[in-house]
Amino acid sequence: MEKMKRCTCGGNFLEAAVERNGVMLKGLKCRKCGETYFPGSEMMRYEILTGKSSLVRKVRRSGDSMIVTVPKQIIEKFKLHEDDMIYFKSDEKDEEITIKILHMRENPVYSATRK
Ligand SMILES: [Zn+2]
């Protein structure tokens, strides 16, 4: 959690848990003005749990595999097509995954062996 030392009003912070739409969020509350600040990671958790982000997907099971659908805005932004290949790459700390896309229309050598 990125720690701010003081509120913009100059007051000191107190760690606080605040309930919003049934989700408990951990933040910092100013002792002086009462303003509450939440770190980005808490806001992301809130958006996931309340379904407020269109970029959140639920993991589903299909046989031995787990399935995640791709949001429409990602399909459009990255010009994803059926039969394109994606590759999962984890960071050094194994905390985040990057998805690399290989567009098969631009890689005819591979697509020829797959159809
Ligand atoms: Zn304040």
Provide the phi-psi class of 91: left if phi over 0, else alpha when psi is between -120 and 50, else beta.
beta
Q: If you ran DSSP here, which 8-state letter would residue 101 be given? A: E
Which amino acid is present at 97? I
Protein residues near ligand 1, an ion, with CB under 5 A: 7, 9, 11, 30, 32-33, 35
Same-domain status, 44 and 86: no
Q: Which two tokens stand for residue 82?
A: 């059926």
Same-domain status, 39 and 84: no
Which residue range forms the structural domain that includes residue 89?
60-114
Q: Look at the pTM and tell me if it is higher than 0.85.
A: no
pLDDT tens-digit series, residues 58-93: 899 999 999 999 999 999 999 999 989 999 999 999
pLDDT tens-digit series, residues 27-52: 999 999 999 999 988 998 898 888 87
Same-domain status, 98 and 78: yes
pLDDT, average across residues 91-108: 87
Same-domain status, 43 and 64: no
- pLDDT, greater one: 114 or 28: 28
Residue 6: inside a domain:
no
Report the C-alpha gap between 58 and 22 in whole angstroms: 19
Same-domain status, 105 and 66: yes
Answer whether residue 113 shows pLDDT above 70. Answer: no
Domain count, the chain: 2
Ligand 1: centre distance to CA 20 (Å) = 20
Ligand 1: centre distance to CA 29 (Å) = 8
Residue 46: inside a domain:
yes
